[in-house]
Amino acid sequence: MKRRLGVFCLILLLSVLALAGCQPQAPVEEAVTIRMGALTGPTAMGMAYLMEQDETGDTANDYDFTLAGSADVLTPLLIQGELDMAAIPANLAAVLYQRTEGALQVVAVNTLGVLYIVEMGDTVQSVADLAGKTIYATGKGSVPEYTLRSILESQGLNPDTDVDIQWKSEPAEVVAQLAQGGGVAMLPQPYVSAAQLQLGNSLRQALSLTEVWSSQTEDSQLITGVLVAQRSFLESHPEAVARFLEEYHASMDYVNNNIPEAAQLMEKFEITKASVAERAIPACNISYLDGTNMKTALSGYLEVLYAQNPQAVGGALPDDAFYYLAK
């Protein structure tokens, strides 16, 4: 009886295993190569560890990175479909969404604000202290100007009469002006850190415009960079995208928590010099936001830009289809 029972159990076990083997299994997507673009500077800094892992073969996907010093290089590659994803300025993402008739979606925020008020002295403790001052800056007719004007107006200052904004063509001119005559300037990171290395600690980081922005608005954040992707790629490779987002988020965490090592990687991959990066990383607000948090923060920010100049976001605010909300 015991022997028969043992045989019966064995047959039953084999039957169960056979049935399990016949069950349809969900296909597992193989690793894909993602053609990734990024701009040298803050929008690429969070990728440094991901780039290192890709080089050593320790990533779930394969990556083909294209780094550029100007968005003008990445824009045609995105429009022509030669990049699957790219880290670009937040407002440019909205512009390209309009130009491509929705072919691109924003997947995540990667960098919050990087604009700072700096001065050779100790006279500016709040936005109100800018009244009557000359502010040297770059970015006339673009996001830095719209950001500065919005913040000044929110604090009751008229940008055209209460301050004297002197626009320069590039940050190096602003730094030269500070070196010659002191004063106040608006500069982005990592140029602030580069200027401090050049001018010493007499150049003080007086105000973080990101903190000022957050204190005056409830539903938006000052945002510099986002990650966009081809809608067709997102739809064709959802598993690869999910794996990428995990690795991308982990790369940002590594950069923020291992600053000296991350700075060396940034110099290795020609994102920025290690000496500048090590000083700049804590002030670059490298941050990961996706899903509804990304949509809330970014949509509120784009609304402020739209109010300043509709063309800054492509002439119209993006609709809900602009935001990639993975299920």
Whether the predicted pLDDT of 18 surpasses 70 = no
Q: What spatial distance separates the first Cα and last Cα of the chain, rounded to whole Å?
A: 54
Q: Is the peptide bond before 318 cis (omega within 30 degrees of 0)?
A: no
Looking at domain 33-112+221-322, what is its CATH homologous superfamily? Answer: Periplasmic binding protein-like II (3.40.190.10)
Q: What is the mean pLDDT of residues 21-50?
A: 80
Q: How far is CA 11 from CA 15, 17, 20, 267, in A?
A: 6, 10, 14, 64
Could you count the other beta carbons within 10 Å of the beta carbon of residue 54? 20
Eight-state DSSP code of residue 30: P
Q: What is the pLDDT of residues 276-300, one digit of tens each?
A: 999 999 999 999 999 999 999 999 9
Domain ranges of the chain: 33-112+221-322, 115-216
Single-letter residue type at 235: E
Nearest C-alpha neighbor of 140 from the set 113, 179, 100, 167 = 167
Strand order in the sheet with 85-89: 62-68, 33-39, 85-89, 223-230, 104-112, 286-290
What pLDDT score does 17 carry?
41
DSSP 175-198: HHHHHHH--EEEEETTHHHHHHHH
What pLDDT score does 121 carry?
86
What pLDDT score does 29 carry?
61
Could you count the other beta carbons within 10 Å of the beta carbon of residue 219? 10
Write down the CATH number for the domain with range 115-216: 3.40.190.10
Whether the predicted pLDDT of 2 surpasses 60 = no
Asked whether the domain spanning 115-216 has the same topology as the one spanning 33-112+221-322, the reply is yes
